[in-house]
Amino acid sequence: MGRRMKILFVGDVVGRPGRLAVAKQLPALRRARAVDVVVANAENAAGGHGATPEILRELQGYGVDAFTMGNHTWRKHAIYSALDSMPNIVRPANYPEGAPGRGAAVIKLRDGRKLGILNIMGRVYMEPLECPFRAADRLLPGLREETPLILVDVHAEATSEKVAMGWHLDGRCTAALGTHTHVQTGDEWILPGGTAYLTDTGMCGPMFSVIGTEREPVLKRFLTGLPQSFNVAKGPAMFCAVLVEADEETGQARSIERILIRNAG
């Protein structure tokens, strides 16, 4: 049996409640499960919309090694320069050429091992970006030249698009893990080609909410159809993540485990 790498992917971190959940749960979880590298989706980390360099550094202090983003990437202008200066952040790769930052990166662990990270965003019910399937085809070969261990954050709304992406990537990456909808799904498995797959990782955010948002304005919006102001809910939080163990020589996943901790922070 070859050497293994344990990769922990943390679902969308939503506002201060999500950050507190990460602060309380991640250090102990990382030690207890002997996690080698932690990647988190941080596109909602600042007040539920976007991220700032200060908040990313805060999350790094809790044990996050690298970050993926999503459709809220551009909500905080302060992140623009950080996307270029911080090599451990990737935003969706299928934004047009000229957008700040990078859609794929290879991070080096302290012991010299490497993990490739690719962030792609779906188009169904979202933005008319470059085809995410073609974007993945374009960028995966370059990552594989450096390491067989590749994590893909599939940031998309439609479950069908995420499932299709999982099949499209099977055998070409270690894990294809969904984000964006904030509700953890129960369909984790290893596809026939060796890629660990989950439709949505879930969120680190307030439990008594509607996907992280205060309940009352959301209910008013559904009941009346009128515009409302949405804010991150308060109260106890949940912590959602996925732990993937992979063979370092082949990059194939050997196990995938969903993690859901309620009253996490």
Q: Average pLDDT of the chain? A: 97
**What's the domain count of the chain?**
1
- C-alpha distances (whole Å) from 250 to each of 141, 153, 195, 196 are 15, 20, 11, 13
Rounded Cα distance between 29 and 48, Å, is 24
Please give the Cα distance from 242 to 195 (Å, whole number): 13
Place of tokens 């623009």: 80
Domain encompassing residue 59: 4-261
Q: Residue 112 CB: number of other CB atoms within 10 A?
A: 6
DSSP state at residue 138 = H
The reported pTM is 0.97
Question: In the numeric block, which tokens belong to residue 69?
Answer: 């983003």
Distance CA 187, CA 204 (A): 19
pLDDT of 1 reads 56
Any idea what the CATH number is for the domain that residue 208 is in?
3.60.21.10
Residue 155 annotated in active site: no
What is the mean pLDDT for each group of 10 consecutive residues in the chain (265 residues)? 91 98 98 98 96 97 98 95 94 96 96 97 96 98 98 98 98 98 98 98 98 97 96 97 98 98 93
Catalytic residue among 49, 72, 77, 155: 72
Q: What is the pLDDT of residues 67-86, one digit of tens each?
A: 999 999 999 999 999 999 99
> Cβ distance 196 to 224 under 8 Å?
no
Q: How far is residue 62 from each of residues 19, 85, 127, measured CA to CA in Å?
A: 9, 21, 32
- Report d(CA 173, CA 83) in Å as an integer: 24
User: Are the beta carbons of 29 and 21 closer than 8 angstroms?
Assistant: no
The confidence score (pLDDT) of residue 6 equals 98
Q: What is the pLDDT of residues 212-240, one digit of tens each?
A: 999 999 999 999 999 999 999 999 999 99
Question: CA-CA distance, 25 to 260, in Å (whole number)?
Answer: 11
Would you say 237 and 265 are in contact if contact means Cβ atoms under 8 Å apart? yes
Percentage of residues in the chain having pLDDT higher than 90? 98
Dump pLDDT digits (tens) for 43-60.
999 999 999 999 999 999
